[in-house]
Structure 1
């Protein structure tokens, strides 16, 4: 019984800790109100959602008052308009709320129900959006059903178009390629998702620092960062990485302009990689705390935890 109670107590403490931090962020955003410089947040709903699912997503993304967000729907027609060669019949379920922020705030990405966004992580979204030229925004992604999460990127593009900002379609296509490659490396090569994001961010930062002039120099940067992170890829995927960043080089993306946001993204990735689940000191503290409780209870009842029934 005590062992069972211990497990439940740990789960409760972690749930409260995560829940309170999430509630704090949500409450803070609500109290700040609307930034009149940028206008209302934009809620982008997947065109494949039913009316009931759309209402569910509105609640997930905290849009309880329709006058507090500008609402648009993203469809397969938008997908082919932004990304050449895509299927206009694609199913669009992933939805997002985009709140533009002041210069220097960086990108903050949150999947509000990550259990339903099965392939794309927060930092994968952030990496791709920086490539697309999107900076300084809070982006919340949600889906009422399990989806890969790729279509949310198209919805975010549409939100910026609706807000009057013109995005470079070539950069959008490269960002889409980047997201596809990121999820492929995680799913097919079996690399930890945050490790993939770290690799992509580090390559971008190295390109910003070194300003490569040839494909060979890009390839050398890719190889160097793979070695730094001790990541082994197939020759095909190494070439895909080089091809991707060669595309970026040919687009003359000025990574110096996003260097600060890349730094913030790298910090975020490191925080996720060193999450509390992997914090041995934290877990030892939890173990010691509950062992003290168990010892105290055992002393009161004059029993031993070794004599407990497993039922």
Structure 2
């Protein structure tokens, strides 16, 4: 009788993207709350979104909620709320693509990387503002829009790591360039999610290996920040098998971007490749 009762009980569930990357498809507009009516109309025209599409408005209160921040941390979001986005959540195996205009600091790749960390694995995002802005507040609106489509909230820990990832990416970009920074963050993150290092020293070894591959010099300060970021991502216990396709699509995109810049990556040695192949072979047997 107990089994029968439990079977008949309807338990509401929410498909959380940070667990399986599974969520309903849909689209939404996310506008900065400081936009004037004419600026909003300008952006609606730029996004070419349907007239009847739902819209949300992002302000400081929403950003605090998104990243689990304290009010005193609002100082990190300056200049008003103007960054806006047209967010589409897609079916599986599309990956994450971001296109933007008037964002002068945060790049498309940084936003795409951060969305993957947050748990959004298949999406198409167009971000913009009525004039040039840094774009540091753009992530809050994109995530809020995604959650509205899903009908549930992503993990705050994932979202905080995503925002931290953008901050570290910006610092790294100042040293080695935008494309290189995003490519390295993606590659290190992929290795951390896949290999699940047991301590920060192992994370540092992964960073140094990727640093050598890209033939760049990362300062000790930035490297330490990367270790902290990747340690936090490691603590999220993300399932590599669920993220692999999306991460691979990003890696392929970064490879093309590096080649377009005329930069050839240093290939790993023969024994590194052999060891990697053997590890993957026995891992597949075990699985």
Structure 1 runs not aligned, ≥5 long = 1-36, 280-311
Partner secondary structure for residue 74 of structure 2: coil
Paired residue for 2:248? 263
1:72 to 53, 56, 68: 56
Q: Distance in 1 between matches of 2:47 and 2:30?
A: 10
Give the 5 Å matches for 1:1-311: 38-39=25-26, 41-63=27-49, 65-67=50-52, 69-83=53-67, 84-85=69-70, 86-87=73-74, 90=78, 91-111=80-100, 113=101, 116-163=102-149, 164-187=151-174, 189=175, 191-275=176-260
- CA contact 2:193–2:237 (8 Å) conserved in 1: no
Shift of the alpha carbon at 1:161? Answer: 2.2
> Any runs of at least 4 consecutive aligned residues in structure 1 with deviations exceeding 4 A, and if so which?
none
Name stretches of at least 5 consecutive residues in structure 2 with no aligned partner: 1-23, 264-287
Aligned partners of 1:204 and 1:255 also within 8 Å: no
What TM-score, normalized by structure 2, do the two folds share?
0.77
**What is the rounded CA distance, in whole Å, between the counterparts of 2:129 and 2:259 in structure 1?**
27
Measure, in 2, the Cα distance between the counterparts of 1:270 and 1:38.
29
After superposition, the CA RMSD in angstroms is: 1.8
CA contact (8 A) 1:132 1:175 kept: yes
**Distance in 2 between residues matched to 1:45 and 1:235, nearest whole Å:** 38
1:249-281 CA-to-partner distances (Å, cap 9, x unmatched) read 122122332121111011112222333x759xx
Matched residue SS, 1:87: helix
CA contact (8 A) 1:47 1:92 kept: yes
Residue 224 of structure 1 and its aligned partner are, at CA, apart by: 1.1
Between the two structures, name the one with larger relative contact order (CA 8 Å, sep ≥ 6): 2
Paired with 2:262 and 2:236, the residues of 1 have a C-alpha distance of 39
Q: Which residue of 2 aligns with 1:308?
A: none
- What is the rounded CA distance, in whole Å, between the counterparts of 1:259 and 1:160 in structure 2? 21
| 1:241 CA drift (Å) | 0.4
- How many Å separate the matches in 1 of 2:191 and 2:35? 41
Count of residue pairs the alignment pairs up: 234
